[in-house]
Chain A
Amino acid sequence: GAGVSQSPSNKVTEKGKDVELRCDPISGHTALYWYRQSLGQGLEFLIYFQGNSAPDKSGLPSDRFSAERTGGSVSTLTIQRTQQEDSAVYLCASSLSGGAQETQYFGPGTRLLVL
């Protein structure tokens, strides 16, 4: 079956603009994660969705970042008033039910460049 897909694969934007990044998880996976990866850095957790529970937003770096997950499937990460330090690869992952030891399946990422 299809893996996790993300769009766009690359995004170049100007400072101050808003951007939306999309993630399509594996069908049937109830848990969805967003991470950010900057050059030479580890994966930085942003937000976690599990079924109908309230999302864990503890990793969002500022109130310019938000995410939603519609119908328990597709998720959109929105960055408002982008800054140059937002430039990074944004990775989405899904897992079957969000168990602590479950394998996470990652998408290819969206490379965001803020000029």
Chain B
Amino acid sequence: SQKIEQNSEALNIQEGKTATLTCNYTNYSPAYLQWYRQDPGRGPVFLLLIRENEKEKRKERLKVTFDTTLKQSLFHITASQPADSATYLCALDRGGSYIPTFGRGTSLIVHP
């Protein structure tokens, strides 16, 4: 089965810096990878999807990369703001299933 690793330690950065979060996976290469944001007491909110044939995807201050050789996705937030503080989850497909597998998420804390 697919295993996903996200850094369990919180990432603390200063406002204005670029935050970089990592999602590593084992076993097969997924057809797609998604990133979600989750605030305390709320459900996850979809941010970006990147497909296996895409190297990079951007949306405003967000950028996602997908390296199938390294079995890794990086999620970047440029010019970070305290409002970006949240937990970020990555999710991968299960090899043909309609049900993604979610990582545990990494907490990001942006200090003013």
Contacts of A99 in B (CB 8 A): 98
Contacts of B97 in A (CB 8 A): 100
Pick the residue among B43, B46, B96 that contacts A91 (CB under 8 A): B43
B83 adjacent to chain A (CB < 8 Å): no
**Are A108 and B41 in touch, CB under 8 angstroms?**
yes
Expressed in whole angstroms, the minimum distance between the Cβ of B46 and any Cβ of chain A is 4
Contacts of B104 in A (CB 8 A): 40-42
Complex Cα gap A100–B91 (Å): 12
**Are B102 and A100 in touch, CB under 8 angstroms?**
no
B99 adjacent to chain A (CB < 8 Å): yes
B17 adjacent to chain A (CB < 8 Å): no
Complex Cα gap A18–B32 (Å): 38
In the A-B complex, the 3 residue pairs with the closest CB atoms: A106-B43, A43-B102, A42-B104
B→A interface (CB under 8 Å)? 4, 8, 31-32, 34, 41-46, 49, 51, 89, 91, 93, 96-105
